Amino acid sequence: MASNVPVKDFSNLTELNEEQKRQLSELERAQGVASDAGYRIVAPQPSAKLLSGYTIPLVGLGTWKSAKGEVGAAVATALRAGYRHIDCARIYQNEHEVGEALAAVLAEGVVKREEVFITSKLWNSDHDPARVEAACRKSMEDLRVDYLDLYLMHWPVTGNPGPTVQPPLADTWAAMEQLVDKGLVRTIGVSNFSAKKLEALMAGARIQPAVNQVEAHPYWRNEELRAWCAARGIHLTAYSPLGSPDSAAVIGRSADVPSPLKDETVAAVAAELGKSPAQVLIRWAVQRGTSVLPKSVNPQRIAANLDVVGGWELAPEQVAALDALPLQRRMVDGSFWVDARGPYRSTAELWDE
């Protein structure tokens, strides 16, 4: 790489104090930040090849529950710190702010558009095939992009009560396939799908789902689904990798449910490695081959959450200890979609358990 290429220092453009700036600079040096044509690259970052032929960086920034006025700063901080994967959804109601931050960082020359993997999701109320393209274009407009790297069917739910899902998931999927045909979306997939629902969708699909985004952490390893997807080339993305500690009030979960962030085994592994419990949980997900979406609006935590992509790893015995944690329960159980009228009369029906 040419030594005379001008390198911009963007760390002073975020609202960081001097200590945070120092930590961010140390993180960048540790991760091998390089320059090319005046923008920054953090390399190498682990990634996975998708059925579509594109690659997905394994560590992304989640934007669910990020408040208005905070999510834009978080996205800008993350991109400047080296993140190359941003996970969004229309229902989060903050895509316009994410788009403003993305446009600003692209204009600075921090990163090129083709180097950022951007995901959005089709909400339940837009499953009608006639609404799918408009919903996708709305997300693209808010995000200020002319294509999405990944577009997911957010839930196998349409909000229409009755004995069966209406419109059928297969019809919605066919409309999503057309988004690929038109060049609006590079890769399509699903979120919160069981193996049974995925298998039914795949039976009639022209383009196979490349990604299934589901909850996964040591308190809900979701191992059977992960193995099932892996055997079919479907990449698994883990949401709520820290146990979604701040979602209790949002989804009605009891605040006293145990959290993997506070687990004694996780704490012990973190102490052995000189890392935080959050870093241990994120690294565990990466070593399983899944992509992972930690969420934070704190600059220090955003930087620390990316400090799992090189230089250290969990030892086999540490992975085994996390894989043996006895408590297994969803933090986002989908009970808010249960309806006595159907199509899901219980969470068991939603998850096919």
The set of catalytic residues is: 92
- Count of Cβ atoms closer than 10 Å to residue 51 Cβ: 17
Query: Is there a contact between 90 and 121 (Cβ–Cβ < 8 Å)?
Result: yes
Binding-site entries: 154
SS3 label, residue 310: coil
Residue by residue, what is the 3-state secondary structure of 161-193? CCCCCCCCHHHHHHHHHHHHHCCCEEEEEEECC
User: Is residue 161 helix, strand or coil?
Assistant: coil
Residue 331 per-residue DSSP state: S
Instruction: Tell me how far apart the alpha carbons of residues 32 and 45 are, in angstroms, rounded to a whole number.
Output: 10
Closest CA to 170 of 205, 145, 219, 124: 205
Produce one character per residue of 111-124: b if its CB has 16 or more CB atoms within 10 Å, e if not. beeeebbbbbbbbb
- DSSP assignments along 52-99, one per residue: TS-EEESB-EE-TTPPTTTHHHHHHHHHHHT--EEE--GGGT-HHHHH
Amino acid at 155: W
Closest residue by Cα to residue 11 from 83, 59, 79, 85: 79
DSSP letters for 246-280: T-HHHHT--TTS--GGG-HHHHHHHHHHT--HHHH
Q: Which residues are annotated as a binding site for substrate?
A: 154
Q: What is the DSSP string of 92-141?
A: GT-HHHHHHHHHHHHHHTSS-GGG-EEEEEE-GGG-SHHHHHHHHHHHHH
Letter for the amino acid at 44?
Answer: P
